[in-house]
Chains A and B, each alone.
Chain A
């Protein structure tokens, strides 16, 4: 009898000893956990149709979170992703409305994001104001400008949207009709998110810029003394964030065939949450793409699952909050024990 018990203790010992590794995957374990839970409660949760839904619904959040990753890697935060999101959509929709083609419309939208990023970067670097306050100010201004511009938040609907632009958000990458009349629809936006994630992953892990971005995010002064162009790279991070989030906004506007003012703010907190939950997967707690995607999926699964299970909409955020407490609490409990 004593032997297996001994074995278990030794195993637990090792687990705790390598506790760093265990805690790094708490989020993954939690993701799998809630997936199993929802599958047990709702028969329609773990079906191809629904999984395609979850991925499609998560694509836009994934784009925003990837953009945010660059700024968080540089040691900052970007609250104005919401504004880049909105103004990107607004610019592109208005360009389309004015009769421009989809390519110039998208380019103008990206430019709007780049300008917001430059604006943030300028204040952070030149005036040495913390990113939190700079981007908070940008958020205030950007949201107000939209209200003024749309006379209180009227959406701008677009009739006869350019087919290519429409494809961004509404096109399908893989569409299967099942025998019983079901629809398995993997949206094209999933491919956009995956490609962008791959590019961002490459930039952050394999290029000089990415490496030095993490260095300055960790210790600015030491990085400066090692020749890292701290100011330039900080600005780059904000510009990338602005551009990527503007693109996310355009994908969003394509889904709705409209520019809906202030819709970026619905992604803001989830994106921040995804990036920081994702950073718990990294040994040094740095922002990283793969972790961020896990975080995005976590929110996607929760939103979808809670709906299917029939939790009242008002209670859904309570459930999300409690789960985050639970995961991170467990995480810290395990790592403190080791």
Chain B
């Protein structure tokens, strides 16, 4: 009933989608899987009208659609249940349920508040089995209940297709089961479902067919019968031979970083691990497992409620980044554009921002020394920029990331905490960043590599720690660790998962 044919989409420097064809049949539950960056979200954003495809066409019930705009999408009956829930916590349940589609009376289009609340309460119970007062604030509901309100809102608009984008990532198991029941109910009512998830177990349970994306291309669309988690992993990760990773270094025995019983107020608990000099330690997990916030917490101690972090045997205490940098830690944040670079500053100013003392006499910057240092780093990292004075936001993503990393080379970091260092970086720059990470480790630096990119993790790390719902659940070591093993381990927690949720 819905077809997206030969869809192409490019962003500057990245080919996000290449001739992807996606077909949704009447009343089916269609799983969409792939690694982060494989193109799932881009494809769905095109379907939602947020992005426009460069080439290709979208057909709905056989007829070709010209302009694919939000209005058309709404008229055709395609609804989205987003990953980041768009809820305003200060609205009441009734208000957020009927926002923009309020039942009105009289020609003046008045809204009867009391009536609206009563109706909301009734509709929610009928459609999704949620018992709640209509005047309760959305912020007071659990995440799962908020999601039900969102689903109910979608149902009120007589949808023909509903897209679920990672709906269970933040749900407790009980809530997830209730969601599956609702989805099956929708299917009985002839609503087609697109279901995006990283949890392959769920996919097998509820989907009829799946489409697999990898690196912006479609791998295949297959029926779910007889498929195992391992098959799906193999399809998503692919079997290309990866030669962008050089042979791993032997790490030394000297412990550089030691983390003991580190506990965050919400994101992770009882984390113990160490990084030796010259060692690359990978940390991964499903979204929301706490591994991304762990990196930040080691650096600036934000939100840490318990535990110790030691660098070279000395406890770091509650250091601000300023102090952490002085002790030899460098942090490459995930959000490069907003946290990694300072956009209004030049390449030169960005590179030396964290190490100005090293190129200054007293508090006066020695411009000659600064320029020399920057020139040598630009050369070493092969940063492609017309000159040192170029505003950093004119550089490509990969080169911006090299600027961020060279900031820590300039400060003489001993420990590099890299949070998704190659996210949204083109393939060429990716390989360069890999060899740089490798080189840094060889020179004796310790690397904490936080990543969702399994090939990168397996290709670079001496050891991989797997986190699940805020705890380290597995440690994979040795040169023959495969991406499949890591992925199974990431999922593995799910089978015997608890009912707790981390949000």
Asked if A13 is at the interface of the complex by the 8 Å CB criterion, the answer is: no
Q: Which of B359-380 contact A (CB under 8 A)?
A: 360, 363-365, 367
Asked if B230 is at the interface of the complex by the 8 Å CB criterion, the answer is: no
Task: Say whether A211 contacts B353, CB under 8 Å.
Answer: yes
* Interface-located stretch among A47-55, A102-110, A224-232, A310-318: A224-232
What are 21 residue pairs bridging A and B, where the CB atoms are less than 8 Å apart in the complex? A207-B360, A207-B363, A207-B364, A208-B364, A212-B353, A214-B349, A218-B344, A219-B341, A219-B344, A221-B339, A222-B342, A223-B342, A225-B299, A225-B321, A225-B333, A225-B339, A226-B321, A229-B320, A283-B391, A284-B344, A284-B391
- B44 / chain A contacts, CB cutoff of 8 Å: none
- B367 / chain A contacts, CB cutoff of 8 Å: 206
- B343 / chain A contacts, CB cutoff of 8 Å: 218-219
15 new A-B pairs (CB below 8 Å) besides A227-B411, A284-B344? A206-B367, A207-B360, A207-B364, A208-B363, A214-B345, A222-B342, A223-B342, A223-B353, A225-B333, A225-B339, A226-B321, A226-B325, A229-B320, A284-B345, A285-B344
- A228 / chain B contacts, CB cutoff of 8 Å: 322, 353
Measured CB to CB, the residues of B under 8 A from A are 299-300, 320-322, 324-326, 331, 333, 338-345, 349, 353-354, 356-357, 360, 363-365, 367, 391, 407, 411
A224 to B338, CA, bound (A): 12
- A211 / chain B contacts, CB cutoff of 8 Å: 349, 353, 356, 365
A226 to B329, CA, bound (A): 11
A284 to B349, CA, bound (A): 13
In the complex with contacts A207-B363, A224-B321, A229-B322, A219-B342 CB distance below 8 A: yes
Task: Say whether B338 contacts A225, CB under 8 Å.
Answer: no
- A215 / chain B contacts, CB cutoff of 8 Å: 342, 345, 349, 353
Asked if A286 is at the interface of the complex by the 8 Å CB criterion, the answer is: yes
A209 to B407, CA, bound (A): 18
Task: Say whether A222 contacts B360, CB under 8 Å.
Answer: no
* Distance from B327 Cβ to chain A, minimum over Cβ atoms (Å): 11
Q: Name the residue of chain A whose CB is nearest to the CB of B326.
A: A227
Q: Name the residue of chain A whose CB is nearest to the CB of B411.
A: A227
**Which of B300, B326, B349, B367: most chain A CB closer than 10 A?**
B349
A223 to B339, CA, bound (A): 8
- A227 / chain B contacts, CB cutoff of 8 Å: 321-322, 324-326, 353-354, 411
- B345 / chain A contacts, CB cutoff of 8 Å: 214-215, 218, 284
- B299 / chain A contacts, CB cutoff of 8 Å: 225
Point out the residue from B300, B338, B411 that lies within 8 Å of A222, measured CB to CB. B338
- A219 / chain B contacts, CB cutoff of 8 Å: 338, 341-344
Measured CB to CB, the residues of A under 8 A from B are 206-209, 211-212, 214-215, 218-219, 221-229, 283-286
- B357 / chain A contacts, CB cutoff of 8 Å: 208
* Distance from A217 Cβ to chain B, minimum over Cβ atoms (Å): 8
Closest 8 CB pairs of A and B: A218-B344, A227-B325, A227-B322, A226-B354, A208-B356, A284-B344, A226-B353, A219-B342
A225 to B335, CA, bound (A): 12
* Distance from B359 Cβ to chain A, minimum over Cβ atoms (Å): 9
A283 to B363, CA, bound (A): 25
Point out the residue from B300, B320, B344, B411 that lies within 8 Å of A214, measured CB to CB. B344
Task: Say whether B342 contacts A226, CB under 8 Å.
Answer: yes
A116 to B360, CA, bound (A): 31
* Distance from A14 Cβ to chain B, minimum over Cβ atoms (Å): 18
* Distance from B348 Cβ to chain A, minimum over Cβ atoms (Å): 10
- B324 / chain A contacts, CB cutoff of 8 Å: 227
- A208 / chain B contacts, CB cutoff of 8 Å: 356-357, 360, 363-365
Q: Name the residue of chain A whose CB is nearest to the CB of B323.
A: A227
A226 to B360, CA, bound (A): 17
* Distance from B267 Cβ to chain A, minimum over Cβ atoms (Å): 18
In the complex with contacts A211-B353, A212-B356, A227-B321, A222-B391 CB distance below 8 A: no
Task: Say whether A222 contacts B340, CB under 8 Å.
Answer: yes
Task: Say whether B339 contacts A286, CB under 8 Å.
Answer: no
In the complex with contacts A208-B357, A211-B356, A228-B322, A286-B344 CB distance below 8 A: yes
Q: Name the residue of chain B whose CB is nearest to the CB of A286.
A: B344
Task: Say whether B363 contacts A221, CB under 8 Å.
Answer: no
Point out the residue from B322, B333, B353, B364 that lies within 8 Å of A206, measured CB to CB. B364
* Distance from B421 Cβ to chain A, minimum over Cβ atoms (Å): 15
A194 to B349, CA, bound (A): 27
- A283 / chain B contacts, CB cutoff of 8 Å: 391
Q: Name the residue of chain A whose CB is nearest to the CB of B296.
A: A225
- B363 / chain A contacts, CB cutoff of 8 Å: 207-209
* Distance from A333 Cβ to chain B, minimum over Cβ atoms (Å): 23
A222 to B341, CA, bound (A): 6
- B338 / chain A contacts, CB cutoff of 8 Å: 219, 221-222
A224 to B320, CA, bound (A): 9
- B326 / chain A contacts, CB cutoff of 8 Å: 227
A226 to B299, CA, bound (A): 11
- B333 / chain A contacts, CB cutoff of 8 Å: 225
* Distance from B372 Cβ to chain A, minimum over Cβ atoms (Å): 17
* Distance from A36 Cβ to chain B, minimum over Cβ atoms (Å): 33
* Distance from B114 Cβ to chain A, minimum over Cβ atoms (Å): 38
A5 to B338, CA, bound (A): 47
Point out the residue from A206, A225, A226, A229 that lies within 8 Å of B365, measured CB to CB. A206
A207 to B359, CA, bound (A): 11
* Distance from B35 Cβ to chain A, minimum over Cβ atoms (Å): 27
* Distance from B328 Cβ to chain A, minimum over Cβ atoms (Å): 12
Q: Name the residue of chain A whose CB is nearest to the CB of B325.
A: A227
A239 to B356, CA, bound (A): 23
- A286 / chain B contacts, CB cutoff of 8 Å: 344
A268 to B15, CA, bound (A): 52
Task: Say whether B339 contacts A222, CB under 8 Å.
Answer: yes
Q: Name the residue of chain A whose CB is nearest to the CB of B341.
A: A222
- A226 / chain B contacts, CB cutoff of 8 Å: 321, 325, 342, 353-354, 407
Q: Name the residue of chain B whose CB is nearest to the CB of A223.
A: B342
Q: Name the residue of chain A whose CB is nearest to the CB of B332.
A: A225
Q: Name the residue of chain B whose CB is nearest to the CB of A210.
A: B365
- B356 / chain A contacts, CB cutoff of 8 Å: 208, 211-212
* Distance from B349 Cβ to chain A, minimum over Cβ atoms (Å): 6
